[in-house]
A and B are shown apart, each in its own frame.
Chain A
Amino acid sequence: NAGVTQTPKFQVLKTGQSMTLQCAQDMNHNSMYWYRQDPGMGLRLIYYSASEGTTDKGEVPNGYNVSRLNKREFSLRLESAAPSQTSVYFCASRAGESGANVLTFGAGSRLTVL
C-alpha cells in the first residue's frame, strides 16, 4: 500500500519555466491537498480538493494552478516559476468525511527556482 506518492522528488527550474508536480493516492480518499513548507513558517495550504472535479483556493494560491482529474490524482502546476516559489511541496489526502482531519502526506517535492 503506497499511500501518497509524489513526483518528482527534486527539481531545479529557471525563472519563467513551467512544471507540474504530480500526486497520487491509493487509499480511495475524497479530499486532497497541496501545501508548501518554508523554514519557520510551517505548512501553508496552496489549494485543496474536497472531491473529484472540485478545487478551492487555500492560503497562498497565487502563481499556482491545480487539477483534480480523477479521485486518485491531484496535480499542482507552476505556469511561470519565480524564485519565491522555491520550497518543499507536500501533497496530502484525508481519511474520512467528518470529524478529525487525519491527513496522510507524501514524502515531498523539493523545488528550487533560480
Chain B
Amino acid sequence: GEDVEQSLFLSVREGDSSVINCTYTDSSSTYLYWYKQEPGAGLQLLTYIFSNMDMKQDQRLTVLLNKKDKHLSLRIADTQTGDSAIYFCAETIGAGNMLTFGGGTRLMVKP
C-alpha cells in the first residue's frame, strides 16, 4: 500500500535483536498492526497497538509508536531462525473496516 512503507529486507544473526520499521502517512490511523507471513502460508497477527499508546510489549516482541513522526517499529529480542518470515505493517483508519498493508519486510535470521 502506498500509504504504509517498509524496507524490503533485513538480515540478522541468531540471538541478536531485530528491529523492523514502518512509516505511515495518515494521522487518523486508529490501530496499527504487525502481521507475520511464513513461507507458503497466510498472514498471522503478531500484535497491534492502539494509536493512543506509545509502546506495547508481549514476550520477545516490543512495538514502539511515534505518532509525531508517524513511525512504527517492531523489535524482536533474541531472534531465532524460526522468526525468519515476511513481516507486514498495517493500519486501520478511523472506525473503518479495512486494513492498509505495507509492502512487507523479509527477515532472514542466520545461524
**Chain A contact residues, CB within 8 Å of chain B:** 4, 31, 33, 35, 40-45, 48, 50, 58-59, 90, 92, 94, 98-103, 105-108
Contacts and interface: CB of A to CB of B under 8 A. Distances in A.
A41 B103 contact: yes
Nearest to A49: B97
Interface of B: 1, 4, 8, 31, 33, 35, 40-45, 48, 50, 88, 92, 95-99, 101-104
B43 A103 contact: yes
Contacts of A92: 42-43
Contacts of A107: 40-42
Given A101-B31, A101-B33, 13 more contacts: A4-B42, A40-B104, A42-B102, A42-B104, A43-B88, A50-B97, A58-B98, A90-B42, A100-B31, A101-B98, A101-B99, A103-B35, A105-B44
A102 B42 contact: no
